[in-house]
Amino acid sequence: MYSEATRFTALLFPMAAKLSEEDMEDRLRLEFVDDARDRLQRMYETVERVGKGTVSFLHALSTLSTEAHNLKGCGTAFGYPAVSLVAHRLEDYISGLNALNDRHIVDIDIYLDRASALVDRCEQPDLAETNRILRSLPVRYVFDVKDVEVPNVEVMLVTPSKVVARKVSMELAACGFRPIRVQDPIESISLAVRMPPDMLIASMVMDGLSGLDLIRGLQAISVTSKVPMALLTSLDLDSIALREIPQGVGLIRLGPDFSEDVASVITHFNLG
């Protein structure tokens, strides 16, 4: 009998259905590699066409977003988690872009080069090497990085709100940090456990899992128990809900004290 995962992947790649389960897994990995190469080639060609002015920005953004999202979703399932992580960072990089300038094109090509190299590897990198690869990826800043000292600090921002994400990301980027946004709190658990960030900031109110429950859960997991964490909220300090915040967790209020709270949390955790 085939496992549930194998039956599911057989639906994605019907030609593998007649193989044994072991052979099917090998076949599916090979077909994933071929599929990933095709997706990366489409992204390379799209970026090249943008540079030549033969494709519109909106069309290019749609293609890049779709292919990066699909690559992110398939990588881990087929034994290429590092590919998924790079694709997630690329998806985050292009999110919110309103143009593709020369700097963006160079940066996106770096993402594609890293993903291509990982797809072509027979053995996937360990966590330490994966961490080095991810931290070498470009970050999209809204200022000239020469004006700011850029520390090697990654902050995972977990929030479904694009408005909140933009506000917090800009504040973090202004400090030279690398903000990595995750919309789904459930997905953030997998990402944080696989590659612990230097700090995690989570919105208090989210569908499926509150920021408070997310932080409690990650604090209970050994690999993320020591990660500095902060809760992002619009609640007043005297709110009953905030009384349940675990000791040592920072608090960032979305109000007039926002910038001061961010600075206070950074100082408290000695990240600046």
Return the CATH number of 4-135, one of 1.10.150, 1.10.287, 1.20.120, 1.10.10.
Answer: 1.20.120
The predicted structure's pLDDT at residue 161:
92
Q: What is the CA radius of gyration of the chain?
A: 20
Q: Between 3.30.1360.120, 3.40.50.2300, 2.60.40.10, 3.30.1490.190, what CATH number should domain 150-268 receive?
A: 3.40.50.2300
pLDDT at 119: 95
205, two tokens: 């109110």
Q: Is the dihedral of CA 167, 168, 170, 175 positive or negative?
A: positive
pTM exceeds 0.75: yes
Q: What parts of the chain have a pLDDT lower than 50?
A: 1-2, 16, 145
Domain segments of the chain: what residues? 4-135, 150-268
pLDDT for position 19: 58
Whole-number pLDDT of residue 1: 44
